[in-house]
Amino acid sequence: MSKFYINHETIGSDGEMLLCDNVQNLVKFDMGPLESANDPNSDSTCEMLVEFICTKALFPLYLTFEPFSGMEEDLERLFKGKNIGYILRFEGLKNKRFPVFKLTIENPSSLTFLLQETFWIATCNNFYAFSFTDNIVYKPVIGKGWFGREKTWIWPHFDMNGSSTVIEIWHDGDGFNLYTTEPRFSTIEKLASYFPVGTSIVNNED
């Protein structure tokens, strides 16, 4: 029997403020497999994603990720071979640009395939996120760089006005944060209902 945790969290980091707008109406949950912390080679986060998304067929959904430069042709070949729709863009400023893939996932087999082939990119701490609406853009952000100098970055940004849900994979691919404005995902109990019957869900309020 699968065993996962779901914890309600507050939104507080600067990165979260930049990642999502309309934060005053957002609800955030920290979710992940219990056993993954003890097994760095576990693919339990992928299994959790498949169970959460596929049990009630939450399709279509969109995957956005930032691969390492130079991988674009190999990835495009993989996606075309499975007839998975995608857009490849290059984001950045002037001569410092990086590839970004956005894919449309229509069914469980495509989701499983993409996780098998690309989730390792998330474990390298590259940006990797799912959304249930096509609501991501990249925006310039001004902040402080080395020695306090002003610096501009390009940052992924989700439009959370209206009904929106985003799943951002966490550090080393170990679990994820779910941000939502949708009532269907607004409580731990509602989220738990999207897993198969018999799944064990624990939280820090138990």
Position 206 scores a pLDDT of: 53
Q: Which residues pair with 177 in a beta bridge?
A: 30, 168
Q: How far apart are CA 54 and CA 194, in angstroms?
A: 9
- Give per-residue pLDDT as tens, 34-73: 875 545 555 899 999 999 999 999 999 999 999 999 999 9
Nearest to 3 by CA among 44, 53, 46, 57: 44
- Give per-residue pLDDT as tens, 192-201: 999 999 999 9
- Give per-residue pLDDT as tens, 67-96: 999 999 999 999 999 999 999 999 998 888
Query: Average pLDDT in the 170-184 region?
Result: 93
Which residue carries 């640009």 as its tokens? Answer: 97
Q: How far apart are CA 100 and CA 127, in angstroms?
A: 9
Please give the backbone phi and psi of residue 182, each rounded to the nearest 5 degrees, phi first.
Answer: -90, 130
Quote the tokens at residue 156: 């992924």
Please give the backbone phi and psi of residue 52, each rounded to the nearest 5 degrees, phi first.
Answer: -65, -45
| 3-state class (DSSP) for residue 130 | strand
Position 89 scores a pLDDT of: 96
